[in-house]
Structure 1
Amino acid sequence: MDYRSHWGRSGMAVSLLSLAVCQVVLAEETATVSDGEQLKFEIKQLKLINERQAQTLREMEQRLYSLESGRQAIQAEPQKQTAQNEVVKSAAPSSSVDNIMQEEHALFSNSFTVELGMNYSHYDRKELVLEGFLALDAIFLGDISVDDISADIYTFDATGRYNVNDRWQIGATVPFVYRNTSFQRNVNGVGAEATVDEADLGDITLTSAYKLFNETASRPDIVWNLSIKAPTGSHPYGTPTVTKSVTNASGTDTVTYPKELPTGSGLWSISNSLSFVKTTDPAILFANVGYTYNLDGSFDDISSTSGDQPGDVRLGDSVFYGLGMAFAMNERMSMSLSVSQRISQKSETRLEGSEWKDIFGSDGNAATFNAGVTYALSDKLSMSTTLGIGLTPDAPDFSLGVKFPYRF
């Protein structure tokens, strides 16, 4: 065998083997490099997936939190409204509003109320009286007299009110009356004057107030009021008169006046009325309308002349109304303005065995403008003041009143 050809074949084999080995090594290295890149790629993909999942998880958690917060808010809203309603219901109204309701309507929030009050009224009536006749329709022949009646009336009263429940209230008022009246008459320039005063118990009044309807957005608070006045004061029927004469160089003047003054009407009376209150922030509107019926009464003497003349008396019935508004200035003080009017029919008398006869000038029309201020001295004690100005001759010229209600 030729060693050169053998060597050549052997070298070729070695070369082929080396080439194969190199290819295997290269393949392994290439595989190693490819596996590393693939692993890096997969790791990167997993990281991206994890980041997306984390973001999705955060979004889902945020959405869940929002849904749960919204549900809690919805569930909490009725509770909040209920709590607010409970607070509103449990919170007592301001003292100024209570005072307005007490004076102009009826207050049902307290179990018992005691009220002490005083009222002063002044009357002054001057009348020009012509005693003579006209000559030739132009010249007056006779005496001209000036009659002046001035009266001061002080009324001290104690009132108690008890709330049977939150819709019904009963009460009673016991007055004590002091009257002082001055009578003057001047005909001949002399002038005669007399003064009479009287102090006694007045007519006791029993009252009842029942709430028919509570106030709504379209309807006022409506209360039905019923009062009965008992003739516990001294009556004016059969009161004797006294004549006083004054004489000087100019002549003689005489004045006739009653020996005593009454402190009551002497008859039972029943008043039936409705009162209304509507809140229109910041004002409170109030009104009332009613009718007073006077029962007939019999007396041993109904005439001022000497001797007893028994008979019956029938005072004229009356209708009355009032309307006004009040303002709560702050939590403790309030102010009110109102107008009231009472129109009375003529009274009648009947001597025993005769017919009813009208009493001349006994009908009346008394209208008054009222202004009042109330102030809460404490949570239970208040002070109420009123000023009344007469608008018609039958009303007092002016009146002043003060009350101190204490609520238990």
Structure 2
Amino acid sequence: MTRSVLWHLTGVVLLSLVAVPVVAQQDDDGASVEDAREALAQQEGDEDSTEQLEEVFQAAEKNYSLLQAGRQSLNYSFNYSYSGSQNLDLEVINGQVRNLDVTPAATHNFTNSFSYDYGYYDNLTLGTRIPLATKFDTQEDLNVNDVGDISFTARWQPNPHVPGTMSTTVFSTFSTKTGVSPYQIDVKRQLSTGSGYYSVSGGASVSKVLDPVVLFGSGSLRYNHGEKDLKQVRGGRLLRELDPGFTLSGSGGFSYSLSYDISLSMSVQLTYNDETVLTFNDGSEATASSQMAGIINMSLGTRISDQTIVNTSVGFGMTRGAPDFTIGFSMPINISGLSESS
């Protein structure tokens, strides 16, 4: 089985993952722990961590076959994730627990994404991704339908691939804040579809073909730009500034070619989110502690024609910050104009 066949059979489907800051510090002016917790609470399923992990695995996937100069590709992907939890709200005064309350939460997140890639050079591919998000919070009876954070990516392969050796791809991504910001809504009546800030990430992915197996790994560092002049009411105070810190993302796995038409992939995704600091109009601050989130997923690639491979996947969360489970689907969109140029 040729290496090119293996590359076409080892697409990795991307899965959504969310990380919600949940730990707050009480500020010096005596504001309650409940106020700080409410100030820090993002909506379930915010797009920031989703995009972080998708960037990592898009880089790993594209590493196998960067487009040749002048070629184009258009792909569609669908991802569904479910997150259910029991939120415990309490206040401790002089060693005594008061205001104990258990609130269930259940969020359904549907994301339809369209990705366009263009081969600028044989070893340089430029691309963009447009997500359309739909969310439901069945406990609070909330929903939202809107665009997510649009992103732009460049992938560069510094050295031509030599059979039997490791292949390396360097990538960089700029994410906008086109989605509905979680810091500009009424958190008790609305849901968000974006991160609420700009970000830039960079990293590298590696892969090696060991017929009939492809091993791959990827890592990236993401800088999240802070926001000022916010005017959101949270916990009885006015949120003015946001410092989201940085994010580390990593992945690793393998893809196995069962036949010319079928491939099976397994991978692990890990994300470390730095602490988030919110500053209010009275000068007080609330801090969400850093958090680790991870998910394991399995993907099946099926060739339905010479140029079309459909990927389906399922994933399971390994940490509290991850969704309970995810389901994914992706496939190329064949357009006559794109086909002629490719």
| TM over 0.5, shorter chain | yes
Alpha-carbon contact 1:390-1:396 (below 8 Å) kept: yes
Aligned twin of 1:379: 306
Query: Residues 96-141 of structure 1, C-alpha deviation per residue, up to 9 Å, x if partnerless?
Result: 522425763312245111111110010011144567889xx9xx99
Distance 1:293 1:360 in 2: 17
Larger mean Cα displacement after TM superposition, 164-173 or 373-382 = 373-382
Output the aligned Cα RMSD: 2.8
Equivalent residues of 1:324, 1:338 under 8 A apart: yes
1:151-230 correspondence to structure 2 within 5 Å = 151-183=107-139, 194-216=140-162, 219-230=165-176
Deviations 1:248-281 (A, max 9, x none): xxxxxxxxxx110111011001111101010112
1:124-160 deviation per Cα after TM superposition (whole angstroms, max 9, x unaligned): 11144567889xx9xx997753221111100011111
Distance, in Å, in 1 between the alignment partners of 2:142 and 2:253 is: 37
Task: Say if 2:264 is the partner of 1:318.
Answer: no
Q: Deviations over 1:363-400 (max 9, x none)?
A: 32111111001112112222111211100000111111
% identical equivalent positions: 20
Query: Would the alpha carbon gap of residues 276 and 358 (structure 1) be closer, same or farther in structure 2, given more than 3 Å must change?
Result: farther
Tell me the distance in 2 between the aligned counterparts of 1:169 and 1:92: 20
CA distance in 2, matches of 1:403, 1:331: 19
Residue 332 (1) aligns with residue 261 (2): yes
Which fold has the larger relative contact order, with Cα–Cα distance below 8 Å and residues 6 or more apart in sequence?
Answer: 2
Q: Identify if the C-alpha distance between structure 1 residues 97 and 149 changes in structure 2 by more than 3 Å, giving closer, same or farther.
A: same
Alignment TM-score, normalising by the size of structure 1: 0.64
Work out whether residues 12 and 311 of structure 2, in 8 Å CA contact, stay in contact via their aligned partners in 1.
Answer: no
Call closer, same or farther: CA 1:386–1:239 in 2, change over 3 Å: same
Local SS of the residue matching 1:232? coil
In structure 1, what is the Cα distance between the partners aligned to 2:89 and 2:230?
Answer: 33
The structure whose residues are more often helix, as a share, is 1
Quick one: structure 1 residues 351 and 142, their matched pair in 2 at CA, closer, same or farther if it must change by over 3 Å?
closer
Q: Which amino acid aligns with 2:152?
A: L
SS state at 1:213 partner: coil
SS at match of 2:7: helix
Q: 1:262 to 1:141 in 2, by over 3 A?
A: closer
Q: Which runs of 4+ in 1 moved over 4 A?
A: 128-134, 140-144
Q: Which runs of 5+ in 2 are unaligned?
A: 14-59
Contact 2:155-2:171 at 8 Å conserved across structures:
yes
Structure 1, gaps ≥5 residues long: 1-87, 184-193, 242-257
Distance across 2 between alignment mates of 1:388 and 1:346: 26
Partner secondary structure for residue 208 of structure 1: strand
Q: Which amino acid aligns with 1:208?
A: A
Residues 164, 210 of structure 2: 8 Å contact kept? no
Change (3 A) 1:113 1:133: same
How far did 1:218 drift? 6.7
Q: Is the 8 A contact 1:377 1:383 kept in 2?
A: yes
Give 1:282 shift.
2.0
- Structure 1 distance, partners of 2:3, 2:267, is 26
Query: Cα offset for 1:354?
Result: 3.6
For this pair of structures, how many residues does the alignment match?
A: 285
Secondary structure of 2:288's counterpart equals coil
Corresponding residue SS for 1:318: strand
> Which of these residues, 76, 83, 93, is aligned with residue 4 of structure 2?
93
Calculate the TM-score normalised by the size of structure 2: 0.75
Amino acid in structure 2 at the alignment position of 1:311: R
Check the 8 A contact 1:380/1:406 in 2, yes or no.
no
Q: How does 1:4-43 map to 2 (within 5 A)?
A: none
Shift of 1:292: 0.9
